[in-house]
Structure 1
């Protein structure tokens, strides 16, 4: 959904607007509100971020944030999961985590919702890749596949028992089936 706003749009003007639920994003001088997460999306998002954090947080390798606003490269987006290497997590002068993340994630993960445009999701991932993100994922719960976009903009589709490429330095081995099996209780 595109939200009507006074033209011309600017990132600065967008950032002054009140937050919306679900979150709105600013990309290519357009404001779009993300779709409301539904069951499959919510389950994959919470399970996957917890799975990543279990492997990386105690070792201070990285951290997976859900629904974190990231503002960089003239855009402000809210990936479903944004993974930051530990040393790149923005911090306040006192060492606490910053509220504003004015940088790209190292790994961006998006989960398609029903009737959500894959092209818009891919545009968000490509914006991240073009601005320094190393790896992007687009999970499609309906088709049960995962598209992986690497920093060289190559796109690979993973299905079934294939192990999916993860961010370098993170010791995780996951197949597409393992990820989508999280949808079953």
Structure 2
């Protein structure tokens, strides 16, 4: 949802407003409220955040944050998942993470919700790429495909189940196939309500792509 005020707001004025639920973003003078996450969106957001952190945090390569506001160059965006390289995570004097993130994340991930305008997500990712983002993803659950936007390169589409989805340079240890990603949406093997075996019932957020194949 886009809201236009009679008097254009500045970024500073936008940031002084009460937080909305779902979060609102400030892009080119417009206040854009994100859609409320539905089932597939919410599940993929949680599983993908956990998967990325399970692969990056132990090696101190990066950290994934859901719904993190990032403010830079007159924009205030809230990607579904923001991944920041470890050495760029801003911290206070006591070593805890700062509340304000004054730059674009290194890896932006957006999950397309039903009836959401995909071009607005593309625009947001292109803005990020112009301000230091290394990689953008748009994950389309209904179509079971991923659009990848690497910085300085042409975007690519990934829908082959066995295909590895490209990741930014600092996250090269991550290997995630299309099949594994969208397999997280399946919570039952069939309509009888029986869970889909030990692998799904005891699902870890760090599955082996080879095991999913």
Q: TM-score over 0.5 for the alignment? A: yes
**Contact 2:85–2:170 under 8 Å retained in 1:** no
What's the CA shift for 1:153? 4.8
**Cα RMSD (Å):** 1.0
Aligned residue-pair number: 185
Distance 2:5 2:12 in 1: 13
What does residue 26 of structure 1 align with?
26
**TM-score normalised per structure 2:** 0.84
**Contact 1:83–1:108 under 8 Å retained in 2:** yes
Distance 2:157 2:138 in 1: 9
Distance 1:73 1:166 in 2: 25
Distance 1:35 1:113 in 2: 7
Distance 1:153 1:2 in 2: 30
1:167 and 2:168 matched: yes
Distance 2:70 2:27 in 1: 12
Once the two structures are superposed, residues 74-119 of structure 1 have per-residue CA deviations (whole angstroms, 9 ceiling, x without a partner) of 1000000000001101111222100010111000000000000001
Q: How is 1:49-68 mapped onto 2 (pairs within 5 angstroms)? A: 49-68=49-68
| SS of equivalent residue, structure 1 residue 120 | helix
Distance 1:181 1:132 in 2: 31
Distance 2:122 2:73 in 1: 16
Higher Rg of the two aligned structures: 2
Distance 1:5 1:43 in 2: 34
Q: How is 1:100-119 mapped onto 2 (pairs within 5 angstroms)? A: 100-119=100-119
Distance 2:58 2:185 in 1: 26
What does residue 9 of structure 1 align with?
9
What does residue 158 of structure 1 align with?
158
What does residue 43 of structure 1 align with?
43
**Contact 2:4–2:30 under 8 Å retained in 1:** no
What does residue 191 of structure 2 align with?
none
Distance 1:19 1:6 in 2: 20
| SS of equivalent residue, structure 1 residue 100 | coil
Distance 2:84 2:32 in 1: 24
**Contact 1:129–1:153 under 8 Å retained in 2:** no
| SS of equivalent residue, structure 1 residue 109 | strand
**TM-score normalised per structure 1:** 0.97
What's the CA shift for 1:6? 4.1
1:131 and 2:160 matched: no
Counterparts in 2 of 1:153 and 1:12: CA distance versus 1, 3 Å: farther
**Contact 1:83–1:107 under 8 Å retained in 2:** yes
